[in-house]
């Protein structure tokens, strides 16, 4: 199993450019999520999905779009990049229990370091 994979590893954008960060998992996990990590802020949830066709907002969703057309893939789109989006982005996935909520450990990808000039 490759686990959770993310591409690219590094990216530099100019303000206003758009791009898509790719995330894929091969563990058949229902739940997938995107976080950003900033110094002194820990990891903050951007968007998450509990299955194909279902997405919802996290703590810091503004400026980002997501879609979930398959169980395996969960891309994160920046429509018009801003310097405030300079960060390290992590994708994660987990299985879901029968009860509501997501109390299972999440498996993280290696991250994408994004710089917006």
Partner 1 sequence: DQQVKQNSPSLSVQEGRISILNCDYTNSMFDYFLWYKKYPAEGPTFLISISSIKDKNEDGRFTVFLNKSAKHLSLHIVPSQPGDSAVYFCAAIGDSSYKLIFGSGTRLLVRP
Establish if 56 lies at the interface with partner 1 (CB under 8 A).
yes
CB 106 within 8 A of CB 93: yes
Other Cβ atoms within 10 Å of 76 Cβ, number: 22
Q: Please, which residue, 3 or 16, has the CB nearer to partner 1?
A: 3
β-pairing, 112-116 vs 10-13, is parallel
Establish if 48 lies at the interface with partner 1 (CB under 8 A).
yes
Q: Which stretch binds partner 1 (CB under 8 A): 11-19, 28-36, 63-71, 79-87?
A: 28-36
Establish if 4 lies at the interface with partner 1 (CB under 8 A).
yes
Establish if 58 lies at the interface with partner 1 (CB under 8 A).
yes
Q: Cα–Cα distance between 65 and 60 in angstroms, integer?
A: 11
Establish if 26 lies at the interface with partner 1 (CB under 8 A).
no
Q: Which stretch binds partner 1 (CB under 8 A): 16-24, 66-74, 75-83, 92-100?
A: 92-100
Q: Please, which residue, 44 or 77, has the CB nearer to partner 1?
A: 44
CB 22 within 8 A of CB 78: no
For residue 48, give the nearest of 74, 72, 73, 69 by alpha carbon.
Answer: 74
């Amino acid at each position: 199993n490759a686990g959770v994979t993310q591409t690219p590893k590094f990216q530099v954008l100019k303000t206003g450019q758009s791009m898509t960060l790719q995330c894929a998992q091969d563990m058949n996990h229902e739940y997938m999520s995107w976080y950003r990590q900033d110094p002194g802020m820990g990891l903050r949830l951007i968007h998450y999905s509990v299955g194909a066709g279902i997405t919802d907002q996290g703590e810091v969703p503004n400026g980002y779009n997501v879609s979930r057309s398959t169980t395996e893939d969960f891309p994160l789109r920046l429509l018009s990049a801003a310097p405030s989006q300079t960060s390290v982005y992590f994708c994660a996935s987990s299985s879901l229990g029968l009860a509501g909520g997501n109390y299972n450990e999440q498996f993280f990808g290696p991250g994408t370091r994004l710089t917006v000039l």
